[in-house]
Structures are given as structure tokens and as C-alpha cells.
Amino acid sequence: MVVDEKKLNEFIEKVGNEWGASVGSLLNFIGDRLGLFKAMAGAGALTPEELAKKTGTHPRMIREWLAAQAAGDFVTYNPAAGTYILPDEQAFALTNENSPVYIAGEYQIIMGLFKDEEKIIEAFRTGKGLGWADHHHYLYEGTERLFKPYYVANITTS
């Protein structure tokens, strides 16, 4: 085997990005499910303790969640004040269910597919496929949430 070090390093970097995206998807799903993004939308600068109090969650977990969100450019961190802000653009996409760019449903779809892991593996082994009705309910709910703004816009303009 002859390994091109440059190509190997490019591949490892790609894999690292995929890992980060996978973990980020889970954390974004959690932010949606716990109402963290909605609690931050329009609230201005918040400390982890303030967000935790607002959402009935544990400050230590929220501190870690916010750090990950800042690393992913979902929230803005002010190190001098120890506060985080959800920019309006991110809030528009993550919390406004009527926004044409509402994306929170996609995170629910992704989580539903992970919950279907064993069913999907079995489909690969047997070739029988996986029927729409056999998926975890997150897939349906997330799909509805993701496409609702498009359907509403189309129905009201058509």
C-alpha cells in the first residue's frame, strides 16, 4: 500500500468535519427540543445560568451546549461578559416555524434516521427496504416541520 500523506490528511480533515457535524446535529436537536433556541431568540445577551433558569435546565449542561454552539457559529460569545447571543439570522432559521428557511425539522429527521439504525442495517442485509410507515415518528414530524413553510407559501399563493 502506498499512502499519499497529503490525500490522507485531507481525508482525515473531512472525517473530523463529519464527526463535528454529527455531534452538532444532536446538540441542535437538543436545543430545539428543550426550547433553548426559542428562549434565546430576541433575549439579548444571556449567561448560561440565565438560559438554564429560563428553560428549566442545568447550568453546567447549558454552559457546555453554549460553548459548542459558539464553536459552530450558531451563537456569538462575549468572553468579557461571559454571555451568549443568538443572532437574529440564526433565530429566524431555528425558531420561526413560518420562516421560509426554517431548519429545525431537519435535525429531527436526522435523529429519526439514527433511531432507525437497526432497521436500516436489516434493509441492507435483506434488500427488503424500509417502508415509510416503518420509520421512527421523528422522521414524519421533522419532515412536516421542515416542509410546512413551503407548503403554506404554495397553498396561499396558488
The pLDDT value recorded for residue 158 is 77
What is d(CA 152, CA 158) in angstroms, rounded to the nearest whole number?
A: 10
Is 4 within the bounds of a domain? no
Residue ending a domain, among 95, 112, 147, is: 95
Nine-digit cell at 142?
A: 421533522
67 and 117: one domain?
no
pTM of the model: 0.89
The pLDDT value recorded for residue 13 is 97
Count of domains in the chain? 2
The pLDDT value recorded for residue 149 is 87
The pLDDT value recorded for residue 39 is 98
Q: At what angle do helices 5-33 and 104-115 cross, to 10 degrees?
A: 110
82 and 54: one domain?
yes
The pLDDT value recorded for residue 109 is 96
Q: Per-residue confidence of the chain (158 residues) as pLDDT tens digits?
A: 999 999 999 999 999 999 999 999 999 999 999 999 999 999 999 999 999 999 999 999 999 999 999 999 999 999 999 999 999 999 999 999 988 899 999 999 999 999 999 999 999 999 999 999 999 999 999 999 999 988 887 887 77
What is d(CA 3, CA 13) in angstroms, rounded to the nearest whole number?
A: 16
Containing domain of residue 43, as a range? 17-95
